[in-house]
Amino acid sequence: MPIASGATGTVTAMSNTHRQASDDTSADDAAFVARVEAFHAEHCVRIDDPAGSDAGSDDPDGLTAARSYQGALTDAGLAGLDLPNEYGGAGLTAHHQELFTRAAAAWHRPDSPLSISHGMCLPMLAQFGTHEQKSTHLPGVIRGTSIWCQMFSEPGAGSDVAGLSTRAVLDGDEWILDGQKVWTSGAHYCDHGLVVARTDPTLPKHQGLSMFIVDLRSSGVEIRPLVQISGAKGFNEVFFSDVRVPAANILGDVNQGWNLAVSMLMFERVSIGAGGGALNAKRHPELIQLARDLGRSNEPVIRQALAALHISEEIKGYIGQRIRSAVAAGRVPGPEGSIAKLTGALVARQARDTAMAIVGTAGQAFGRRGDGNELDQRATAGRKWSGFCVSAAGISLAGGTDEVQRNIIGERVLGLPREPDPFKGAPWQDIPRN
């Protein structure tokens, strides 16, 4: 009896302790989520509010709005959630970040111009930066006063990014950078870029690369915007001519750039496929409202398309949640980042097709925002969604194409044979290229 009683007592005591702890945790979580909601109620509009829009990154108003949102978020102690206070973070945990991502998904957040800076560059700096690099740069990046971009792709190296040609040669305590990048999203408004360059051409292509923090206002950097089919100028060609980069600006070690590039690509894929923000916003609530507004919500084909989109977006949400939970538990995302990215690209195209089916021929009413013309409701919707229509395909390319993601899933998840590489192990300088 005493044993049973003691045992029961212990179990009861433990249960009470656990219940107390979990009640405390859920009370803390609820209080934190309430803070996130109160902040967004003050600064943003709800995702299903047609008055909300996600300004493009080439829109000066969009950039101002992003900086202002991020500044307010930082002042409220809700930015850089899992980063230490000494680097300008909120000193909380990855669990808080997950709570934030879920709660903030209900709002139009004007932070898309910061998506690469925060989704890819910031985690790289936090993970691989020296104390000095983190102290110097993280507070500004978190607050959005310093915006960073990712500089991998070149005219001769996109999917095969390890084949890139931009050179960095050490000269005393500086590296001299020469070469060209392309498709650099946001370079025209960014302060720094994370540049991958070749530091030893005698090594095999994956082994002679390094990653640099480059001040884009340095002498010898020329940024030329590229105009897209939508009329937007989201990305750029960037030329480096004898750009001097301090030796202290190397991220990680010399010739270890490929390992860093792989980490950054994984952050990119997780950010594209499983992050928060406009890119991963669910489109079906807005499209259901649009179908109602345009009097098409009773049409069976439209209803089926909306139901299918709803299902796909829910599945995509669960894939994202699974990855973010793994990250919150301290695991580094692996090839599941490719599954999330591929899903994100496929669902974006599904949303595009659903939107075009609802707006019908008004989807031809293509144009840029703010040209002052008065339009009826259908044409206004057509104009808005035609912009989404032409940009949706880009999600299949950015961060590695659908085909590349399928290769990764085939090799690393399904265990299929690797692609043959006749130049495996050869010095980069001996590999033929354009």
Ligand X SMILES: Cc1cc2nc3c(=O)[nH]c(=O)nc-3n(C[C@H](O)[C@H](O)[C@H](O)COP(=O)(O)OP(=O)(O)OC[C@H]3O[C@@H](n4cnc5c(N)ncnc54)[C@H](O)[C@@H]3O)c2cc1C
Give the binding site for ligand X (CB under 6 A): 116, 149-153, 158-159, 183-185, 235, 394, 397-398, 400-401, 403-404, 407, 419
Give the residue among 404, 277, 283 at the shortest CA–CA distance from 353: 283
CB nearer to ligand X: pick between 246 and 394: 394
CB nearer to ligand X: give 10 or 159.
159
Whose CB is nearest to ligand X? 158
Q: Say how far apart CA 294 and CA 272 lie, in whole Å.
A: 31
What 3-state DSSP class applies to 180?
Answer: strand
**CA–CA gap between residue 179 and residue 164 (Å, rounded):** 9
Question: Residue 90 or residue 265: which is nearer to ligand X going by CB?
Answer: 265
CB 342 within 8 A of CB 405: yes
**Between residues 236 and 350, which has the closer beta carbon with respect to ligand X?**
236
How many residues are present in the chain?
A: 434
Note the helical H segments in 329-401. 336-359, 377-392
Give 82 or 268: the residue with its C-beta nearer to ligand X.
Answer: 268
Q: Is 268 a catalytic residue?
A: yes
The Cα 292–Cα 306 span in angstroms is 12
From the candidates 268, 286, 313, 336, give the one annotated as an active-site residue: 268
- What b/e sequence results for 397-408 when a residue is b if at least 16 CB atoms lie within 10 Å of its CB, and e otherwise? bbbbbbebbebb
Q: Least distance (Å) from ligand X to the CB of residue 419? A: 6
Angle at which helix 60-75 crosses helix 131-143, to 10 degrees, equals 110
Please give the Cα distance from 291 to 354 (Å, whole number).
Answer: 10
> What is the set of active-site residues?
268
